[in-house]
Chains A and B, each alone.
Chain A
Amino acid sequence: MISVTIKPFTRICQGDVIRDLEYVEYVKEKEGICEISRVVFPHVIILTQDCDLKHDYKFRTEEKESQDKLLLSVLAAPLYNAEHVYLGEHLSELKIKSQFINKNKSPGDILRSNQNPRYHYLIFPDGIKIVPSVIDFKHYFSINTKYLELHKKNNFVCKVSELYREDISQRFASFLSRIGLPK
């Protein structure tokens, strides 16, 4: 089980868990009709380094000679219900079928012990209304910083505490920098 804090900071923090976040897939316009496609994620976790987020906030809210540290976007990854992930059904509403992971055999154990580089399994403490969940590092995406800050005001769930946050961050970096060697 991880530990979390429930006191929200005004700024976005690494490890923030935020609910109902919209990811814009595309916007297109033709002959005066605008079409916007969004995916709503029930829960996401913020992955951008905390020092970057801290400096971004500082440079946006204080008088500075430059805007050198501003971020254009923030990295996040979805949290999926672990039971849905085992079944490969976590993206079924998007018409995407994923691989079945046998919960009661080795693949399930490997996922829960965080030995599968793609996934990070989390159990939240009592009092946080989130079921056992899985971060899928392959599905990371970016969100506009200011939009996320506004959204966080009413949709903050908790912040993963530093030790567990660093574990997630290190595994995410490792996953991104993996090298696929030919067989």
Chain B
Amino acid sequence: MKAEKEKAFTEEYSLDSETIGNIAQKEIKSIDEEPSKGFYRKNKPYRIITRAQIIHD
């Protein structure tokens, strides 16, 4: 269900399908994989794109 929503969201945004969405997935994955080795060692700025579902009480 979560994956379907993610996919639908990504497809809906024309920008996301080729650029932002893919970059987000790729970069979040990269950071999650090596939080202390990859980006920090390079000492360069990096981007994090976070998506969250808004839940209204």
Contacts and interface: CB of A to CB of B under 8 A. Distances in A.
A161 B39 CA distance: 29
A78 B49 contact: no
Nearest to A92: B44
Given A33-B52, A33-B53, A34-B52, A93 B9 contact: no
B44 A36 contact: no
A37 B53 CA distance: 15
Given A32-B54, A33-B51, A34-B51, A94 B43 contact: no
B44 to A, nearest CB: 5
Contacts of B37: none
Interface in B25-57: 39-40, 42-54
A93 B47 CA distance: 7
A42 B47 contact: no
Contacts of A93: 39, 42, 44-47
A94 B50 contact: no
Nearest to B50: A36
Interface in A82-105: 84, 89-95
B43 A42 contact: yes
Q: Which of B23, B47, B49, B50 has its CB near the most chain A CB atoms (within 10 A)?
A: B47
B54 A30 contact: no
10 contacts: A33-B5, A35-B51, A37-B49, A38-B48, A40-B45, A41-B45, A42-B44, A78-B45, A81-B43, A90-B45
